Structure 1
Amino acid sequence: MRRVNRIMPAMPAQAYKTYQIVQPLATHFRAATCEEVACGAHERGWRTLVDETVELGQRQAHYIRRLAGRRFVEERTAEGLTAFTFEPGQRCFQQHQQPLEREPFYFVRGGDWRGNPTRVAPFKHRRGDDWVEDFAGHQDRLARQIERG
């Protein structure tokens, strides 16, 4: 996992709020077809390279040959890999998602990345405009406190 480099904030965590716009996959997206998302693999075909000298590659090759139900041409590369070339017009292996026409969730949480020491429960705004107004007001209060020292 990549380490995040954060600048230490000027004030304690309780002086901050975290503003978050959330669109969970479970409630704001649905499964989509290759055609719906203009999938390049579906439109132009694609090539999958598999290393059958390792267990994962063996399982992948087995799936492609026996279970995938897709049309392909199989060949060996100079590097000893198995190349599966899939023709256009068939479903790729990706699970595409399409956003639903649904308003995101607008949350305001106490604290920042260091935590929520005041244990203030998250607040969910009903409208994006209210969230923006809350955000702007909080930024203004912080700026004034920093100016005062």
Structure 2
Amino acid sequence: MNRLITPQGKPSDYKTFAITQPAATHWLPATCEQVECEQWKHGWWSEFDTRTPQGQFQETYVRHSSGRAFRQVLERPNGEPLPAGIVRFEFAPGQQCFGASEHKIRLEDVPAVFSTRTGDYRVNTNPEVCSADGWVNQFLENDERLKKLRE
């Protein structure tokens, strides 16, 4: 990992504060409609180079397995004809995009996890989970400690 600032002290001189929302406990799979996906709202297009195995696979998938409504067009929106071997499919709005399996929504009723740990990124210590108020108090205390060290 690249760091902009190289630590001057030992790892034990530092305290790490984190607020996390783990995917397994704070997020659920979602549909394009739930996340207001731009492709679902407006439609989209895909071009494939059928001169390659990957392009051939993608074209076959769209035509026979994707389950999505599309129309094949022979030119780009600017009127330019497609080069030989390139296929372009346009997909109407209102259907799941090809990235739909990546869409997630946050569970609003599950609070974030507030934690602190001794040390910085160079050591792997177990985090201590605390309340939001406890985290803020520890953060403020640490900030005061750092101010005194700088003086």
Report the TM-score range of the alignment, normalised by the length of the smaller protein: 0.7 to 0.9
Moved more, 14-23 or 80-89: 80-89
Q: What residue in structure 2 maps to residue 111 of structure 1? A: 119
1:82 corresponds to which letter in structure 2? V
Q: What residue in structure 2 maps to residue 140 of structure 1? A: 144
- Once the two structures are superposed, the pairs formed by residues 24-35 of structure 1 within 5 Å of their partners are 24-35=22-33
In 2, Cα distance between the equivalents of 1:138 and 1:71?
57
Match of 2:104 among 97, 103, 113: 97
- CA-based RMSD of the aligned residues comes to 1.9
- Report deviation, 1:80: 4.2
Structure 1: segments with no counterpart, 5+ residues? none
1:68 match: secondary structure: coil
Residue 109 to residue 61, structure 1, CA distance change in 2 (3 Å): farther
2:145 corresponds to which letter in structure 1? R
Q: What residue in structure 2 maps to residue 81 of structure 1? A: 86
Residue 87 to residue 132, structure 1, CA distance change in 2 (3 Å): same
- Report deviation, 1:79: 6.9
In 1, Cα distance between the equivalents of 2:17 and 2:84?
50
- Report deviation, 1:50: 1.8
Give the TM-score normalised by the residue count of structure 1: 0.83
In 2, Cα distance between the equivalents of 1:112 and 1:80?
53
2:90 corresponds to which letter in structure 1? T
- Once the two structures are superposed, the pairs formed by residues 32-51 of structure 1 within 5 Å of their partners are 32-51=30-49
1:132 corresponds to which letter in structure 2? V
1:47 match: secondary structure: strand
In 2, Cα distance between the equivalents of 1:21 and 1:134?
13
Match of 1:19 among 17, 20, 31: 17
Determine what percentage of the aligned residue pairs are the same residue: 37
CA deviations 1:93-126 (Å, max 9, x no partner) are: 122111101101111122112224xx5x31001x
- Report deviation, 1:129: 2.0
